[in-house]
Amino acid sequence: MRQIKHPTIDQVELTDIMYALADPTRLEIVALLAKAGRKLTCGEIDLNRPKSSMSHHFKILRSAGLVETVIEGTEHMNTLRLEEIEQKYPGILSAVIKATANN
Amino acid sequence: MRQIKHPTIDQVELTDIMYALADPTRLEIVALLAKAGRKLTCGEIDLNRPKSSMSHHFKILRSAGLVETVIEGTEHMNTLRLEEIEQKYPGILSAVIKATANN
DNA sequence: ATCATTGTTCGAATATAATAGAACTATAGA
DNA sequence: TCTATAGTTCTATTATATTCGAACAATGAT
């Protein structure tokens, strides 16, 4: 059961996080993951875009260190790496999530 | 004495802020402005890049609503719009500044 | 008036990113 | 084994950003 590679938290750069969150689609993915508070499959995050586009955005979220994806069967379960990011960059991600909630 | 136009705070979009902060040069400008805690001219923010490049980055910071530029004589005085941004998006900018300070 | 200073704007080159269809991979189930 | 499902990867297209030299504009000083 091959798993996807993620950056370790010390490899996560602030500008990568900012970049990942600068796209409306990705910001929405992050908001949905935060709101759900549980593992979500890519399919559950339906933003009306083709699979390949969504996959692209997930890849960027992963490489920025924001999202962790674990393969379970045919599904890819995604979670926010909230605690880790908060530890390294306190307040940023939680504030962004709060900002997206008020919409 | 013509002044530069800025977005009003209600026109400031979260993704614009994220986008503006995703560039290392711009992040550094923001960090320097925050550290200085006073109006800085573009010239005082010397990041070893040509004027036109810096001007480009300032333009994006302005249009994102992060920086306010007031013309005084031949100089353009820049400040962070920290209080306004904090009011609209609490915690984000201050957390980013804190993150840049630990480097 | 001329000149120096500060920064913007223009323009063109280069680089990076977004989008999405099609082919592919991996697993699960019949 | 064949088929369906979930996502990824490949590839090409199009759109957006970055960079920076050169020309320009506005002010202040001589």
Give the burial string for A31-68 (b: 16+ CB within 10 Å, else e): bbbbeeeebbebeebeeeeeeeebeebbebbbbbbbbb
pLDDT of B55 reads: 98
Residue A42, CB, strand D, below 7 Å = yes
A94 CB neighbours in chain B (<8 A) are 91
Quick: pLDDT tens for B22-31. 999 999 999 9
Is the per-residue pLDDT at B99 higher than 70?
Answer: yes
Residue closest to A97 by CA, chosen among A47, A45, A37: A37
Is the per-residue pLDDT at B21 higher than 70?
Answer: yes
Helices and strands: H and E segment counts in chain B: 5, 3
Residue A44, CB, strand C, below 7 Å = no
Which two three-digit tokens encode residue B8? 């009003």
Please report the DSSP string for B41-71 in residue order: ETTTS--S--HHHHHHHHHHHHHTTSEEEEE
Put simply, the answer to whether A22 touches B18 (Cβ < 8 Å) is yes
> What contacts B50, CB < 8 A, 6 or more positions away?
none
In this structure, chain B runs to a length of 103
Helix (H, G, I), strand (E, B) or coil at B77: strand
Helix (H, G, I), strand (E, B) or coil at A79: strand
Which two three-digit tokens encode residue A58? 């997930």
Tens of pLDDT along chain A (103 residues) come to 678 989 999 999 999 999 999 999 999 999 999 999 899 999 999 899 999 999 999 999 999 999 999 999 999 999 999 999 999 999 999 999 999 997 6
Put simply, the answer to whether A14 touches B91 (Cβ < 8 Å) is no
Query: Is A30 buried (19+), middle (13-18) or exposed (0-12) by CB count in 10 A?
Result: buried
